[in-house]
Amino acid sequence: MRYFTFRALLLMMACCFTFSLSAQNLVPNSSFETVLSNPTSQDQLQSLAVPWLKLNATPDLYYAGQTSLPITACDQVDVPNNAGGHAPERTGLKGYAGLQFDLNNNYREYISAPLAIPLLKDTLYRVWFYVLRADSSRYACNKIGALFTNNFPIQTGTSPIAFPSTIESSSIITDTINWTIITGIYKASGGENYITIGLFYTDANPALLKTDFGPHATGCASFDNSAYYYVDDVVVKPVSETVKIKADTVICPNESVTLNASSNVPFYWSEASTPTDTLSLAANVTVSPTVPTKYYLNGLFVKDSVTITIVNPPAVNLGPDSLLCEGDTVLLDATITDGIKYQWSTGDTTSAIKITTLGTYSVIVNNIGCARTDTISFTDYLPNPPINLGEDSLYCFFNGDTLHLDAGIGHSYLWFPTGETTEQITVLTEANYTVIVIHNNGCPRTASLEVLEVCVPTIFIPSAFTPDGDGLNDVFQPIINNVHKYSFRVLNRLGQTVFYTDNPSIGWDGKFNGNEALDGVYVYRINFEGLDGEGDKLKGKKLGTITLLR
C-alpha cells in the first residue's frame, strides 16, 4: 500500500480555496443517492448503495422514505429523522452514510469506493467530503479522514486500519446542525484505485482527541457509547496547482505593503533569507522591509516570489506659507527629476500650476511607487497698486511731439523694448511699451501702452529747376513726408506725359524720350495717400506748374 499524507487545514481551506467544479468527480455515487432499494435496517450500505463497500464492521445507509417500522431503535434509517436524531441531507436530496467509532474499544467502521479511474502519478487531486455529528452521539473526535490505496484496504477485525489518513480533520467536530467539510490536496503516487473514509487512529494515539458529552439512552448503542457521524458528498477531482502573489513592489522607507495570496492549495509565506521558515499562513500578510526583500508564497510543489524595493520619497517642496500679491499670478512648481505623476488639489496633473487667488494648495508627487505630499497656503493679499500709463494714443514725433511715461512709485523698474530702469521714460518712436514694477514688498506689477505715430502728409514742390548738369537743382523732385502711397506725373503744354513715377526717391531730370526737353512751363500732378490727425485714411492730390530753365 502506497500513500501520501497531507493534513487538511479545514477552516483556511474552506474559506480560501476554489474548488474545480468542471473536473470529473472520480468517486461514483458520491452522495449516496443511487440505491437498489430503500434501506430497512442498519448495516445495508454495501448491499444497497453500489459501488460503496464496507470493511469488517457495519456502516449504515440512511435514505428518505423508509416504509417499514424499525424492529429496533438502531434500525430507524430514515432521512431526516432517524436513530441518531434529526439530520437533514446536505444537498436537500435523500441519502447519506453513517459511521460509528467506539473510542474506548478501538471499534472502527469504514466505507470504501473504487475510483472511476486510477489516480495518475504526481497529479494533484482536490479531495473533500462532509460530516455531521449525530444528535445522539455521546462522543465527538478529530482525525476523521480519507485514505487512498492501490487495492481494497484490509481491516483486521473491527480495529483501526494501521495507515495514516491522506487527509483528515485537525479539530474535534462537534457540530450537530451544520455539515463540516474535510478537505485537502493529495499528490498521487500513481495507480490508487480506492478511497476509504473513517478514523485511522487508535484510541491510545495522543493525536486523537475526543469530547465526551455524557451518557445517552437512545436504545441504540451505536450512538449511546460512541462517536457517530453522518457522511455525504465525497469528491475527488484533479486540480492544477495555482500559486500567485499580488502586491505592490515599490514602497517608501518605513512603509508597509500587504502581500495577497491567490492559491488553490495549502501554502505558507517565507522570506528568501529563510525560505523554509514559515512567515505566515494567512492569505494576506503585511510586511515592512527596511531593505529590498524577496518573499515566497510556497504551495505544495509550486511557489511564486515577489521582491519589495525601497525607494526614497520624492523631495517635493512648494515653499513656506505666504501672502499673495494682489493681481499677481504665482507659479507653484513641484517639478523634480524623478517625478512621474503629479496630482494637485485643483485637479491639475501637470508638474507646475499658476494660481491667482487665496487658498491652500497641495500636490502629491509619485516616483515609481513612492509618493509624498506638500501643501502651501496663501492667507492674505499684499498691497500691489496698479500702474497707470495712460491710454493708447496717436503722436507725430516727426513734428516734434514727445511722450513721457510714468510707472509710479516702486522699488525697481524695467521697460520694454528700451531696457530702461527708471521710473519715467521719454518716448520718441512708436512701439508697444511695457514696464515691470517691483514694489518694496516684492510684488510685481506689469502695465503696457501702445504708442502709434500718426503724422499728416506734407509735400513741398519747388517752382523751377535747371537741368544743366552743374549739379545744382538738376532734378525736379517733390519733397514728401508721411505719405503711404504716391504717384508723380509731369505733362507738357500739349498734354503729353513727359515723366511718371510712383517712387518718391526718383525725380524728373528734364528729359523726354531721352532728349532734353524744351525750356518752359510744365504741369505736374501728384496723387498721395496718408493719415489725417485722427489716424483715419486720407487721400489727396496736388496740381501745379514748374518752370524748366537751362
Please identify every stretch of the chain with a pLDDT value under 50, giving residue numbers as ranges: 1-21
**Residue 176 and residue 84 in contact, taking contact as beta carbons nearer than 8 Å:** no
Looking up cell 517642496 gives 317
Confidence at residue 279, expressed as pLDDT on a 0 to 100 scale:
95
Q: How far apart are CA 516 and CA 93, in angstroms?
A: 134
Q: Is the peptide bond before 289 cis (omega within 30 degrees of 0)?
A: no
Of the candidates 369, 310, 365, the one whose C-alpha atom is nearest the C-alpha of residue 337 is 365
What are 218-264's pLDDT values in tens digits? 888 888 899 999 999 999 999 988 999 998 888 888 889 999 999 98
User: Which residue segments constitute the domains of the chain, with CATH numbers given?
Assistant: 10-238 (2.60.120.260), 243-310 (2.60.40), 322-382 (no CATH), 393-453 (no CATH), 458-548 (2.60.40)
Confidence at residue 328, expressed as pLDDT on a 0 to 100 scale:
84
Of the candidates 492, 503, 487, the one whose C-alpha atom is nearest the C-alpha of residue 540 is 487
**Residue 314 and residue 372 in contact, taking contact as beta carbons nearer than 8 Å:** yes
CA-atom Rg of the chain in angstroms: 53
Confidence at residue 70, expressed as pLDDT on a 0 to 100 scale:
75
Q: How far apart are CA 418 and CA 537, in angstroms?
A: 30
Looking up cell 476509504 gives 196
Of the candidates 214, 208, 180, the one whose C-alpha atom is nearest the C-alpha of residue 106 is 208
Of the candidates 172, 171, 198, 85, the one whose C-alpha atom is nearest the C-alpha of residue 134 is 85
CB atoms within 10 A of CB 4: 12
Confidence at residue 480, expressed as pLDDT on a 0 to 100 scale:
83
Sequence-distant (6+) residues with CB within 8 A of 206 are none
Of the candidates 289, 268, 288, the one whose C-alpha atom is nearest the C-alpha of residue 279 is 268
Q: What is the β-pairing status of strands 479-481 and 370-382?
A: unpaired
What are 418-477's pLDDT values in tens digits? 999 999 998 888 889 999 999 988 899 899 988 877 777 878 888 888 998 888 888 998
CA distances from 418 to 289, 323, 408, 421, 454 (A): 62, 32, 18, 9, 21
**Residue 237 and residue 26 in contact, taking contact as beta carbons nearer than 8 Å:** yes
Of the candidates 235, 224, 234, 172, the one whose C-alpha atom is nearest the C-alpha of residue 199 is 172
Of the candidates 330, 464, 307, 342, the one whose C-alpha atom is nearest the C-alpha of residue 384 is 330
Measured between alpha carbons, how far apart are the two ends of the chain, in Å?
145
Q: How far apart are CA 26 and CA 353, in angstroms?
A: 67
CA distances from 374 to 194, 352, 357 (A): 67, 13, 18
Q: How far apart are CA 142 and CA 160, in angstroms?
A: 14
Sequence-distant (6+) residues with CB within 8 A of 190 are 2, 118, 119, 120, 121, 122
- 3-state DSSP of 161-188: CCCCCCEECCCCCCCCCCCEEEEEEEEC
Q: How far apart are CA 350 and CA 352, in angstroms?
A: 5
251 pairs with which residues across the strands? 310
Q: What b/e sequence results for 521-541 when a residue is b if at least 16 CB atoms lie within 10 Å of its CB, and e otherwise?
A: ebebebebebbeeeeeebeee
Confidence at residue 15, expressed as pLDDT on a 0 to 100 scale:
37
